[in-house]
Amino acid sequence: MEFLTAIGSSWICALALCAVLGDALLPFIPSGTLVILAVLKTAPIEGAPILLGLGVAVASFLGDLLLLHLARRGAPVLQRRLARRPKLADSVARVQRALVDRPHGAAAAMVVVARFVPAGRTVLDVAIGHSTTHHPHRFLHWSALAALVWAAYIVTLGWLNSHWFNTAWLSLGVSCAAATAVSTAIARIIRRNRRLAAL
């Protein structure tokens, strides 16, 4: 029985890591939910949350590298997406302007915060990849930091809820609701600051 449980946990962990890797390009993938589910499945195993957190951070960073590479090379799939979605193109242009105007430390904070905003990671990576004034390599250490921060946050959230609630489904629901609330709050703050800056 324990062997079957371990196999099931391994598949969920692998699926979660693939989702984290792929959601840079496809932000609709519920990577956070899958990571939380993987945490809940592996929480009883000693050291599993730490290993899962490291794996999530690596997968997140590799996803950024992949999207930066595609954006830098002008991959047709990205060009078509920008052409079909004017709002996405506008967001990319806005982020590029912000990166030029902001000092070094503020730009680093922007990279970290973008990881917590729905589709923020995608917009940021495409903006950096298409930028003519910023080389993507300058942002890799910030991307690594953002990956570590987000991985620690999402894994800790799932781990804490796995210890606070006796029911796995309740733990999953509360964790996902909390993650959604945090992302929504950050997105609202960004929109409010953008409106104030436009006044």
Structure confidence at residue 5 (pLDDT): 45
pLDDT per position as a tens digit, 147-168:
999 999 999 888 887 777 666 6
Structure confidence at residue 81 (pLDDT): 67
Structure confidence at residue 151 (pLDDT): 94
pTM above 0.85, yes or no: no
The structure tokens listed for 167 are 């029911």
Cα distances from 76 to residues 9, 32, 79, 125, 144, in angstroms, run 37, 28, 5, 16, 26
More confident residue, 1 or 56: 56
Our count of domains for the chain comes to 1
Structure confidence at residue 149 (pLDDT): 93
Structure confidence at residue 76 (pLDDT): 65
pLDDT greater than 80 at residue 187 = no
Mean pLDDT of the 119-140 span: 75
Task: State the virtual CA torsion across 134, 137, 138, 144 in degrees, nearest 10.
Answer: 130
Structure confidence at residue 127 (pLDDT): 81
Structure confidence at residue 147 (pLDDT): 93
pLDDT band at 122 (very low <50, low <70, confident <90, very high): confident
pLDDT greater than 70 at residue 125 = yes
Q: Determine the structural domain holding residue 183 and report its residue range.
A: 2-198
